[in-house]
Amino acid sequence: MRRIFHAYILLGPEKETIKKAKELAKTVNCKNALRYCDECNCCRRMEAGCHPDLFHVFPDGFSIKVEKIREVIMSSHQPPVEAKKKVYVFHEADKMTPEAQNALLKTLEDPPTPLIFLLLSQNLKALLPTVVSRCQILDYSRMNEGKTIPEDVKEIALEVIIRGIDFSKINLYVQKLTDAEAEADEIMEFIASVYRDILAIKTKSRASLKNRDLLDELKEKAKLSSQALVKAIEIVYSQIEAVKTKGNETLAWYNLFMGLKEQEVM
């Protein structure tokens, strides 16, 4: 996503859209990276939710009322304190009353100061068509349904863990994996399944292999010690946990590869 618009609807489960909202807030404002660096002061405070230019709008009880939206509009006239763009995150945006949504229209179309509006919603139908038509829609609602990893993403993961790569190119691979069309924890689950299969081959376990199509490559890796393989699976799971709780995919990928490298399993 290179072009930045100023109003988005993030459609999907709350947890997912909150995560994506943070990513957008950082992408728009990070001074270091093309995407975001997660290291700078700005990224870290956006992630932690304590940046002075980050605003959250929550429902009062069952709705987001027009009074609340008027406050947002007032505040949108103030330029950012230090960020490139102020970020307004509307939680359960579909709970805005029709009156509230109408009040927001003009600011949504033509904000008075550099900002982005992020409307998180699970229910597009509850938003007025006039609101929807002024926003870019990012749909995360079906992302976790299939749990299938695209072949090209699998290929990248396999290249690193099975075929082994020059460790100096690791930045490139981390970048590819964070940009991939699959969630980091899902790709890592796949990696764990590969190590489990290698272990199964090694121990001649009767457990059915998940990645039978890779049998030859997996057999090659079965010369690793069982202990190292068990450790590898543990490392992968600790990073799945990290990515789920902390949400920093880039860091999790680095930690994963460093850990596997240390165990000499990749």
**Interface residues toward Zn ion, by CB under 5 A:** 30, 32, 37, 40, 43
The nearest distance, CB 40 to Zn ion, in angstroms, is: 3
d(CA 187, CA 181): 10
- Give the integer Cα–Cα distance in Å for 197 and 206: 11
Beta strands in the chain (DSSP E): 7-11, 54-57, 86-90, 115-121, 136-139
Closer by beta carbon to Zn ion, 22 or else 95: 22
SS3 147: coil
- Minimum CB separation of residue 18 from Zn ion in Å reads 19
3-state secondary structure of 163: helix
* Per-residue tokens: 233: 């699976």
CA atoms within 13 A on the CB side of 119: 29
- For residue 23, give the nearest of 183, 258, 238 by alpha carbon: 183
| Closer residue to Zn ion (CB): 41 or 144 | 41
- Token output for 211: 């990645």
- Minimum CB separation of residue 34 from Zn ion in Å reads 11
Minimal distance, residue 44 CB to Zn ion, in Å: 8
Specify the residue, 32 or 78, whose C-beta has the smaller distance to Zn ion: 32
Q: Quick one: DSSP state of residue 64?
A: B
The residue among 27 and 101 lying less far from Zn ion, judged by its C-beta, is: 27
- Cα atoms in the Cβ-side hemisphere of radius 13 Å centred on 149: 21
**Residue 225 CB-half CA count within 13 A:** 5
Between 40 and 158, name the residue whose CB sits nearer to Zn ion.
40
* Closer residue to Zn ion, CB minimum distance, 6 or 51: 51
Residue 10: beta bridge partners? Answer: 120, 138
State in angstroms the smallest separation of the CB of 31 from Zn ion: 6
Distance of closest approach, residue 51 Cβ to Zn ion, in angstroms? 11
